Amino acid sequence: MTPSTLRIGYRYRPARLAPEYDAIVIGSGMGGLTTAALLSELGWKVCVLEQHYTAGGYTHSYERNGYEWDVGVHYIGDVGAQTQTRKMFDFLSGGRLEWAPMAAEYDRFYIGDKVFNAKAGKQEFRDNLLRQFPDEQQAIDDYMKLLAGSGGALSAFGMGRAMKPWQQSLAQPFLNWKTPDVFFRNTYDVLRELTDNKDLIAVLCGQWGDMGLPPKQSTFMVHAMIARHYLYGGYYPVGGAWKIADSIIPKIQKAGGEVFTYARVNQILVEDGKVRGVEMKDGHRIDCDCVISSAGVDNTFNHLLSADVVEQSSYENKLANVQPSFAHLGVYVGLARTAEELGLPRTNYWIYPSNDYDAAVDAFLKDKHAPFPVVYISFPSAKDPDYLNRHPGTATIEIVAPAPYEWFAEWRDSTWGKRGEDYDNFKAQLGERLMEHLYDKVPQTRGQVDYFEVSTPLSTDWFGGYHHGELYGLAHTPERMQQKWLRPQTLIPGLWLTGQDVLTCGVTGAMMAGMLTTMSMVGTRKMAPLMKQIYS
């Protein structure tokens, strides 16, 4: 397979580095780029180091055989009006990022042999649920109230993470008062108190794949955050997901910084108890007393810091309270006809074997021949009004499904594209199974597929640096969401965290983590004018 030619960022060479930087950011995902761009706006010169050959982390796209696919962006909510999310995207991208709305029915759920959907708009969402479940008005209205009531608590949760420990202690009574009882309970238990209708619970949890945990394992807080995020529908970045990073990088360059690709950090250097810089894979040392890691908690504490530093700073015990999220398979499909010709929808499909999501996950983890507990199908070229300008006469489809990393662990030390026949056969079988789901739900695509390829958790490790193939960094369990040490400021002076592990997964979750990290670093006094500029 030939590597993608779609590249953004500047290829790292030691000679291309500036003599000095105010900060180093490890990882060019949404968390890293947001932090770097906001610091740049405040006059910092920031060096972003990305191990992949293109910038953007999970927001990157790739091209092969004349097709272009995204790896970690299918839809983004809350950008159809002048919301806080939209204002932040506008600011970071200098207004260059445009959004295309999906269909009003943005998510469709195939649950066993029944079909339900989610409709854009708070009232439309509620009324549509009621049409599908006419006997459940009370439960539906109670659910909408729970969502509405969680807005302030979600903001307070975020602000709590940005506070210093002493500020957090002082603010704790207020934060507790703001936090509804249901927040850290599991999603299923909370919804079960509203209704015993299992189909309704399944529909309300139909987006569980957006956080990677089925309802009996997930936190209601994250469920509510995602449900609110998409309440007004789904949007797609015009020109493809790679436009996100492409539109943010100029802000970093304008302040004298740069986003380097092929730039793998081997170690965060800590000397005399303080951060002193990083050592690159090629052995080059970059001195800087401020390092922000957006490479995830597992990478930062288990791979980039020495074991001594982790032990001395007492992170070892804390790490026992968090686990990696699920790993996944991706199928990237290319068709030599357009989305319009094929009648592909601007709706995501979620396919479930039954309304008991947790049981389906358990069965699948025990037996790889059991039905996939969820199959997600997305139609990016149908969502992107600019796609045909870049790839005329074609269409693309992406399929995502869970798969444990352990199934592939025996090939972990092999090289991408050269993992051998057994691996290729195994992933081809899995890919064929997933393609059958596509043909079942979109039968007109049968016979029209020109090309498809399959990614496994090893691809996620290879390209994204996630050593367990994690889909969303740390698993969003109730226990994880209550770990107060998952915050921007670490116990190691000069080391900061950002990205999806600080707050929650999602492009917006990582972006908001970037904002919180910047605020923690510079303080609210310096941040206030910038916030005013962004949100006015």
Ligand X SMILES: Cc1cc2nc3c(=O)[nH]c(=O)nc-3n(C[C@H](O)[C@H](O)[C@H](O)COP(=O)(O)OP(=O)(O)OC[C@H]3O[C@@H](n4cnc5c(N)ncnc54)[C@H](O)[C@@H]3O)c2cc1C
59 part of the interface to ligand X, by CB under 6 A: yes
Return the residue matching tokens 């293109």.
54
Bridge-based pairing of strands 258-261 and 10-11 is parallel
CA distance 484 to 76: 27
Least Å from the CB of residue 74 to ligand X: 3
CA distance 497 to 486: 8
| H/E element, 65 | none
400 part of the interface to ligand X, by CB under 6 A: yes
Which C-beta is closer to ligand X: that of 28 or that of 179? Answer: 28
54 part of the interface to ligand X, by CB under 6 A: no
502 to 521: interface string for ligand X, x by CB under 6 A = ---xxxx-x-----------
Answer for which of 9, 80, 457, 465 binds ligand X (CB under 6 A) is 465
Answer for which of 6, 12, 21, 57 binds ligand X (CB under 6 A) is 57
Q: Is 297 left (phi over 0), alpha (psi -120 to 50) or beta?
A: alpha
Q: In 367-491, where does DSSP find H-type helix? A: 380-383, 387-390, 421-441, 457-464, 478-481
In contact, 209 and 56? CB cutoff 8 Å? no
Least Å from the CB of residue 52 to ligand X: 5
Nearest Cα to Cα of residue 409 among 331, 461, 472: 461
Extract the tokens encoding 455: 């990614």
In contact, 336 and 396? CB cutoff 8 Å? no
Point out which span in 284-292, 293-301, 359-367, 403-411 binds ligand X (CB under 6 A). Answer: 293-301
Answer for which of 9, 23, 27, 518 binds ligand X (CB under 6 A) is 27
Least Å from the CB of residue 139 to ligand X: 28
Question: One-letter amino acid identity for 252?
Answer: I
CA distance 500 to 509: 6
Answer for which of 58, 106, 109, 372 binds ligand X (CB under 6 A) is 58
Please give the residues from 324 up to 353 whose contact with ligand X meets the rule CB under 6 A: 328
Least Å from the CB of residue 55 to ligand X: 8
Please give the residues from 5 up to 24 whose contact with ligand X meets the rule CB under 6 A: none
Please give the residues from 147 up to 206 whose contact with ligand X meets the rule CB under 6 A: none
Q: How big is the CA angle at 442 (ends 438 and 445), to the nearest 5 degrees?
A: 85
89 to 128: interface string for ligand X, x by CB under 6 A = ----------------------------------------
Point out which span in 57-65, 382-390, 419-427, 483-491 binds ligand X (CB under 6 A). Answer: 57-65
In contact, 50 and 263? CB cutoff 8 Å? yes
What is the contact surface with ligand X in residues (CB under 6 A)?
26-32, 49-52, 57-59, 72-76, 263-265, 294-295, 299, 328, 400, 464-465, 471-472, 499-500, 505-508, 510
